[in-house]
A = this chain, B = another copy of it.
Amino acid sequence: MGRWEPNARERLETAALELYSDRGYEQTTVAEIATCAGLTERTFFRHYADKREVLFANSGEFQELFVRAVAEALTSAAPIDALAAGLDAISEMLAGQRDFVRARQAVIMANPELQERDLIKTAAISAALADTLRRHGITEPAASLAAEAGIAVFKVGFQRWIVADEDHDLSRVMRESLDELKAVTAGGQDAT
């Protein structure tokens, strides 16, 4: 095709994760990432909106998978069960990339700017889930609350999976977290 080496994005993403892991995010300059990938700083910014975005290249794909799984399950299941189906789908996706996911998460947890970006990506997923629920007839505020609940389960389950020494099954951790959420919201005095 072009006159250059292909897979520019892949090279940039690999170089970025490696440099962020080795020297830390702040100590790495975009120019270094680009040079490491055989490109220039300007080209980096043609592929990614900023220095953070290079770590979140497949968040769109992740969101689509989550939303699609929930939407399909919604035809025959209650919202909370549809969300459980979505959590199962993404668990399956993540399970096969455990080492990469852990390395990436370590970089993110070490830097507030990256945590911020991670949070807004997750918030976008929550919004997309709420939208899907609404399209299937769930009214507000139930739709947004169910979506936020699903995201909460994901965050807690994911975190527990990441820090676990042994190789816990992510799907199981997710299911356990969802059950815990049900238990904790069911406790207390009944609403009047």
- Quick check: B155 and A148 within 8 Å, CB to CB? yes
Q: Among residues 164 to 191 in chain A, which have CB atoms less than 8 Å away from a CB atom of chain B?
A: 175-189, 191
Q: In the complex, which of the residues B123, B141, B152 contacts A119, with contact meaning CB atoms closer than 8 Å?
A: B123
- Let me know if A115 is at the binding interface, CB within 8 A: yes
Query: This chain: how many copies in the complex?
Result: 2
- Let me know if A6 is at the binding interface, CB within 8 A: no
Neighbouring B residues of A179 by C-beta, 8 Å: 191
Q: Among residues 65 to 105 in chain A, which have CB atoms less than 8 Å away from a CB atom of chain B?
A: 77-81, 84
Instruction: Determine how close the nearest CB of chain B comes to the CB of A22; give it in whole angstroms.
Output: 25
Q: Among residues 25 to 58 in chain A, which have CB atoms less than 8 Å away from a CB atom of chain B?
A: none
- Let me know if A116 is at the binding interface, CB within 8 A: yes
Q: In the complex, which of the residues B141, B175, B177, B191 contacts A145, with contact meaning CB atoms closer than 8 Å?
A: B177
- Let me know if A1 is at the binding interface, CB within 8 A: no
In the bound assembly, the distance between CA atoms of A120 and B119 in angstroms comes to: 7
- Quick check: B188 and A77 within 8 Å, CB to CB? yes
Neighbouring B residues of A115 by C-beta, 8 Å: 120, 123
In the bound assembly, the distance between CA atoms of A165 and B115 in angstroms comes to: 34
Given A116-B120, A119-B119: 11 more A-B contacts, CB < 8 Å:
A78-B187, A80-B185, A116-B117, A116-B119, A119-B120, A142-B180, A145-B152, A145-B156, A146-B184, A149-B185, A178-B191
Instruction: Show 19 A/B contacts (Cβ-Cβ < 8 Å), sorted by A.
Output: A78-B187, A79-B188, A80-B185, A80-B187, A84-B188, A112-B120, A140-B160, A141-B157, A141-B160, A141-B180, A142-B184, A144-B156, A145-B153, A145-B181, A148-B156, A149-B149, A149-B181, A149-B184, A178-B191
